[in-house]
Amino acid sequence: MHHVLHVLTNKINNMQSNKILLCNPEHFNVTYSINPWMTNKIVNTKVAMAQWTYLETTIKNIGLDVKYIEPCIDLPDMVFTANAGIVKDKLVILSNFKYPQRQNEKDKFKRWFLSNNYNVHELDSSLTFEGAGDCTIVGDTLIAGYGFRTDRLANEKIAKLLNLKLINIKLVNENFYHLDTCLSIISSDLGIYFPDAFEDKNMENILQMELIKVSKYEAHQFACNSIVYKEHIIMPQGNNNISATLKSKGYKITEVNMSEFLKSGGAAQCLALWI
């Protein structure tokens, strides 16, 4: 087991940085509806802050370096930093948010990245793209989702800009409108996913890795919206089956209560952008 974990850890180290960007939920609320989760929901802001703070502490405890962007009073979804863009080395490709309610986030994130010495690229405004919410970098490949918030052509352009191979995957279930709600890459040869979210159910062949299916119940608890770093997985509560399976493979699971953020259709990975 220790040998296996060592191999996995090396693979994961090659996949990602150790820096994460967070935005505290001081202004988080559900004031509009842009996905099926956001209907008639009331957020307990104190509970949301406590849950976010626990997540922040957990992220630090597994060895990640946390950076912060200031929240904005009229941008309640800015807390979901994963949607800001995709980052490789010191290049960030900024998102073009689909819905007007989130479009003003772009300028806030652009200023942050410029002030922190990143190279910033903006896509043509005709293309919608919602960042790490819809794509993830695994080795020399961009695994990308499209269909609800991101255009297929946007992913093609991003892969070229980042000099990556592209696996473009169509999402077809409106409850799982971003790729990070229905697929989590655990290592370069292991992932978890919810088959009903995808047009093509033959995902193991597409991604060329072992994929563990998540039940409908656990998919709705956002099991796939987990933060993965080395052998550590930070997973939303209520996902006992998939958690046990991953523990049996040597992973260390920390459960976090994400109840308030689920009201907006987001959870742990939505709240964190790898930078």
Q: Active-site residue numbers?
A: 178, 270
152 Cβ partners below 8 Å, 6+ apart? 146, 168, 170
The number of beta carbons lying within 10 Å of the beta carbon of residue 117 is 7
- The amino acid sitting at 162 is L
Side-chain half-sphere CA neighbours of 167 within 13 A: 17
Contact 123, 154 (CB under 8 A): yes
Sheet holding 119-122, edge to edge: 85-88, 91-94, 119-122
- The amino acid sitting at 120 is V
Question: How would you classify residue 163: left for phi > 0, otherwise alpha for psi between -120 and 50, otherwise beta?
Answer: left
Contact 58, 254 (CB under 8 A): yes
d(CA 155, CA 171): 13
Structure-block tokens of residue 110: 């652009």
Strand 119-122 and strand 91-94: pairing?
Answer: parallel
